[in-house]
Structure 1
Amino acid sequence: MRHISEGCAGVLFLNLSNTNITNRTMRLLPRHFYNLQNLSLAYCRKFTDKGLQYLNLGNGCHKLIYLDLSGCTQISVQGFKNIANSCSGIMHLTINDMPTLTDNCVKALVEKCFRITSIVFTGAPHISDGAFKALSTCNLRKIRFEGNKRITDTCFKFMGKNFPNMNHIYMVDCKGVTDSSLRALSPLRQLTMLNLANCVRIGDVGLRNFLDGPASINIRELNLSNCVHLSDTSVVKLSERCPNLNYLSLRNVEHLTHLGIEHIAYILSLVSVDLSGTDISNEGLVTLSRHKKLKELSLSECYRITDVGIQAFCKSSLILELLDVSYCSQLSDEIIKTLAIYCLKLTSLNIAGCPKITDSAIEMLSAKCRYLHILDISGCVLLTDQSLEDLQIGCRQLRILKMLYCRQISKEAADRMSSVVQQQEYSSNDPPHWFGYDCEGKPLTEKNQDTTPSKEALELTLKESLLSSEEEAV
Structure 2
Amino acid sequence: MQRLEKGENSENEEPIPSKNCFPEVHDSISTLPYKVSVQIFSFLNAIDLAHCARVCHSWKVLTNASTLKYKLNLHEINHRLNDLTVSKLIYLYRPYLLHLNLRNCQCIQSSSFMAISSCNNLQDLNLSNCQALKDDHLLLIARRCHILLYLNISHTLITDTALRIIARYLSNLLCLSLAYCRRFTDKGMTYLAQGECCKNLEHLDLSNCLQLTPEGFMQIFNKCDNLKVFIVDEFPTLTDQCIQSILLHCSKLEHISFLGSPLLTDAAFQKFPKALKIIKLEGNNRISDMSIKLLSRMCPNVSHIYLADCQRLTDICLRYLATCKQLTILNLAECINITDAGIRSFSDGICAIKLRELNLSNCVHLGDMSLIIISKKLQNLTYLSLSFCDNISESSLEALGQAPNLISLDISGSSCSDQSISAIGKRARMKNINISQCTNITDLGLQKFAKQCPGLEQIDLSHCLQITDVAIKNLAFCCRLLSCVKLSGCKFITDLTLQYLSGVCHYLVQLDLNGCSLITDKGMKYVQKGCNWLRILNILYCKSISKNVPEAACIINSRSGLGLLASDGSRKELTNSRSIVQKMKRSIDTVNYNGEECHPSLEC
What TM-score comes out, normalization by structure 2 length? 0.69
- 1:111 aligned onto 2:248: yes
Q: Which residue of 67, 72, 84 corresponds with 2:209?
A: 72
Please report how far the alpha carbon of residue 174 of structure 1 lies from its aligned counterpart in structure 2 after TM superposition: 1.1
| Residues 4-403 of structure 1: pairs in structure 2 closer than 5 A | 4-134=141-271, 136-403=272-539
- 1:416 aligned onto 2:554: yes
Please report how far the alpha carbon of residue 152 of structure 1 lies from its aligned counterpart in structure 2 after TM superposition: 1.1
Deviations 1:76-131 (A, max 9, x none): 11111111123221111111111111110011223321111111111111112122
Q: Secondary structure at the match of 2:270?
A: helix
The residue type paired with residue 179 of structure 1 is D
* Cα distance in 2 between the residues matched to 1:194 and 1:360: 41
* Cα distance in 2 between the residues matched to 1:166 and 1:192: 9
The residue type paired with residue 210 of structure 1 is F
* Cα distance in 1 between the residues matched to 2:291 and 2:492: 49
Structure 1 pair 417–330 and aligned structure 2 pair: CA distance change class (3 A): farther
Equivalent pair of 1:230/1:253 in contact (CA under 8 Å): yes
Please report how far the alpha carbon of residue 166 of structure 1 lies from its aligned counterpart in structure 2 after TM superposition: 0.7
Please report how far the alpha carbon of residue 258 of structure 1 lies from its aligned counterpart in structure 2 after TM superposition: 4.2
Deviations 1:356-376 (A, max 9, x none): 111121011100001111111
Deviations 1:174-195 (A, max 9, x none): 1111111111100001000001
Please report how far the alpha carbon of residue 336 of structure 1 lies from its aligned counterpart in structure 2 after TM superposition: 1.2
Moved more, 57-66 or 297-306: 57-66
* Cα distance in 2 between the residues matched to 1:58 and 1:69: 18
Gaps of 5+ in 1: 430-474
Moved more, 22-31 or 66-75: 22-31
Moved more, 260-269 or 54-63: 54-63
Deviations 1:56-86 (A, max 9, x none): 3232332111111011001111111111123
The residue type paired with residue 371 of structure 1 is Y
Please report how far the alpha carbon of residue 388 of structure 1 lies from its aligned counterpart in structure 2 after TM superposition: 2.1
Structure 1 pair 176–428 and aligned structure 2 pair: CA distance change class (3 A): closer
What TM-score comes out, normalization by structure 1 length? 0.87
Q: Secondary structure at the match of 1:111?
A: helix
* Cα distance in 2 between the residues matched to 1:8 and 1:198: 46
Gaps of 5+ in 2: 1-137, 557-562, 564-586, 597-604
Q: Secondary structure at the match of 1:189?
A: coil
* Cα distance in 1 between the residues matched to 2:479 and 2:437: 22
The residue type paired with residue 164 of structure 1 is P
Equivalent pair of 1:406/1:428 in contact (CA under 8 Å): no
Equivalent pair of 2:253/2:273 in contact (CA under 8 Å): no
Q: Secondary structure at the match of 1:131?
A: helix
The residue type paired with residue 7 of structure 1 is R
Aligned residue pair count? 428
Structure 1 pair 207–146 and aligned structure 2 pair: CA distance change class (3 A): same
Deviations 1:300-344 (A, max 9, x none): 111111111111111111111111110112211111111121110
* Cα distance in 2 between the residues matched to 1:205 and 1:144: 24
Please report how far the alpha carbon of residue 427 of structure 1 lies from its aligned counterpart in structure 2 after TM superposition: 1.1
* Cα distance in 2 between the residues matched to 1:292 and 1:58: 55
Deviations 1:373-407 (A, max 9, x none): 11111010111122222112211111122111111
Deviations 1:197-216 (A, max 9, x none): 11111000001001100011
Equivalent pair of 2:398/2:419 in contact (CA under 8 Å): no
Equivalent pair of 2:375/2:402 in contact (CA under 8 Å): yes
* Cα distance in 2 between the residues matched to 1:57 and 1:197: 41
* Cα distance in 1 between the residues matched to 2:469 and 2:530: 18
Please report how far the alpha carbon of residue 417 of structure 1 lies from its aligned counterpart in structure 2 after TM superposition: 4.9
Please report how far the alpha carbon of residue 410 of structure 1 lies from its aligned counterpart in structure 2 after TM superposition: 3.2
Equivalent pair of 2:515/2:541 in contact (CA under 8 Å): yes
Equivalent pair of 1:388/1:417 in contact (CA under 8 Å): no
Corresponding residue number in structure 2 for 1:432: none
* Cα distance in 2 between the residues matched to 1:58 and 1:276: 50
Q: Secondary structure at the match of 1:349?
A: strand
Q: CA RMSD in A?
A: 1.6
| Residues 442-453 of structure 1: pairs in structure 2 closer than 5 A | none
* Cα distance in 1 between the residues matched to 2:206 and 2:395: 47
The residue type paired with residue 335 of structure 2 is C
* Cα distance in 2 between the residues matched to 1:210 and 1:98: 31
* Cα distance in 2 between the residues matched to 1:417 and 1:131: 54
Equivalent pair of 2:469/2:497 in contact (CA under 8 Å): yes
Equivalent pair of 1:404/1:428 in contact (CA under 8 Å): yes
Q: Secondary structure at the match of 1:410?
A: coil
% identical equivalent positions: 41
The residue type paired with residue 177 of structure 1 is L
The residue type paired with residue 148 of structure 1 is N
Please report how far the alpha carbon of residue 32 of structure 1 lies from its aligned counterpart in structure 2 after TM superposition: 0.8
* Cα distance in 1 between the residues matched to 2:518 and 2:185: 55
Equivalent pair of 1:55/1:86 in contact (CA under 8 Å): no
- 1:425 aligned onto 2:592: yes
Equivalent pair of 1:410/1:428 in contact (CA under 8 Å): no
* Cα distance in 2 between the residues matched to 1:139 and 1:133: 15
